[in-house]
A = this chain, B = another copy of it.
Amino acid sequence: MSGTQDRPLRADAARNRAKLLDAATEVFTTRGVGVPTEEIARAAGVGVGTLFRHFPTKEALLEAVMVRRLEIIATGAARAAADSEPAEALFACFRLIAEQSVGKTAFAEALAAAGVDVHTSLRAPSTAIRDLLADLLHRAQHAGTVRPELTLPELLALLVGANAALEHAGPTPTARDHILTVLLTGLRPPEQRA
């Protein structure tokens, strides 16, 4: 299924591909998915032709960007989940995902995608994250440290919400922290507090 790189790809080609991916990530996250492909090509220092040779479609490029992002998040989340206490682990993941996803609505969409169907390339990393969260949620609830009535989809929705809130809050660390505190405290069952 990953027959993408039959032959090793010439040195310059690989370089350009990387530059494109970086530029696209940057531009998409800062200015939204609406930016014309030409801008991305320019930001990467290549021509549009090159862009479209590497990614047959704008959507394909976006997808590639999202896959990379999701993989990074999945990795980070897996590490954060190492915490022994499930609730703490869950909160760490929550923080990380909400923070990482910063950028533009493009990414809220990507996260939303974690809940519904998407192109196959997104499946793997998104289900990884999903499964991780499902596990942590379940364990934390079992331990009585997270509200028992919460379901996974609801948690994901809250994640999307957290992302939106943070995005709207801007870069001020205090504000971001307050917002996350509200969210995370709310996840605790009525009797508990951190």
A interface residues, Cβ below 8 angstroms from B:
105, 108, 112, 115, 147, 149-151, 153-154, 156-158, 160-166, 168-169, 175, 178-179, 181-187, 190, 193
Please tell me which one of the listed residues B108, B154, B164 contacts residue A175 in the complex, with CB atoms under 8 A apart: B154
The oligomer's copy count stands at: 2
CB neighbours (8 Å) of A169 from chain B are 153-154, 157
Docked pose: A166 CA to B160 CA in angstroms: 9
Determine if B160 and A178 form an interchain contact, defined as CB atoms under 8 angstroms apart. Answer: no
CB neighbours (8 Å) of A184 from chain B are 186
Docked pose: A142 CA to B162 CA in angstroms: 26
How far apart are A148's CB and chain B's nearest CB, in angstroms?
11
Please tell me which one of the listed residues B153, B175, B185 contacts residue A186 in the complex, with CB atoms under 8 A apart: B185
Determine if B165 and A151 form an interchain contact, defined as CB atoms under 8 angstroms apart. Answer: no
Determine if A168 and B160 form an interchain contact, defined as CB atoms under 8 angstroms apart. Answer: yes
Docked pose: A153 CA to B178 CA in angstroms: 11
**Closest residue on chain B to residue A115 by CB atoms:** B168
Determine if B193 and A150 form an interchain contact, defined as CB atoms under 8 angstroms apart. Answer: no
Please tell me which one of the listed residues B147, B150, B157, B179 contacts residue A165 in the complex, with CB atoms under 8 A apart: B157
Determine if A182 and B150 form an interchain contact, defined as CB atoms under 8 angstroms apart. Answer: yes
Determine if B166 and A164 form an interchain contact, defined as CB atoms under 8 angstroms apart. Answer: no
Determine if A182 and B158 form an interchain contact, defined as CB atoms under 8 angstroms apart. Answer: yes
A-B complex: 10 closest residue pairs judged by Cβ atoms: A161-B165, A186-B186, A164-B164, A182-B186, A161-B161, A157-B169, A157-B168, A160-B168, A157-B165, A185-B186
Docked pose: A161 CA to B175 CA in angstroms: 13
Please tell me which one of the listed residues B147, B156, B179, B185 contacts residue A158 in the complex, with CB atoms under 8 A apart: B179
Q: Give 18 A-B contacts (CB < 8 Å), ordered by A residue.
A: A147-B178, A150-B178, A150-B182, A153-B169, A156-B168, A157-B169, A157-B179, A158-B165, A158-B182, A160-B165, A160-B168, A161-B163, A161-B165, A161-B168, A162-B165, A164-B165, A182-B183, A185-B186
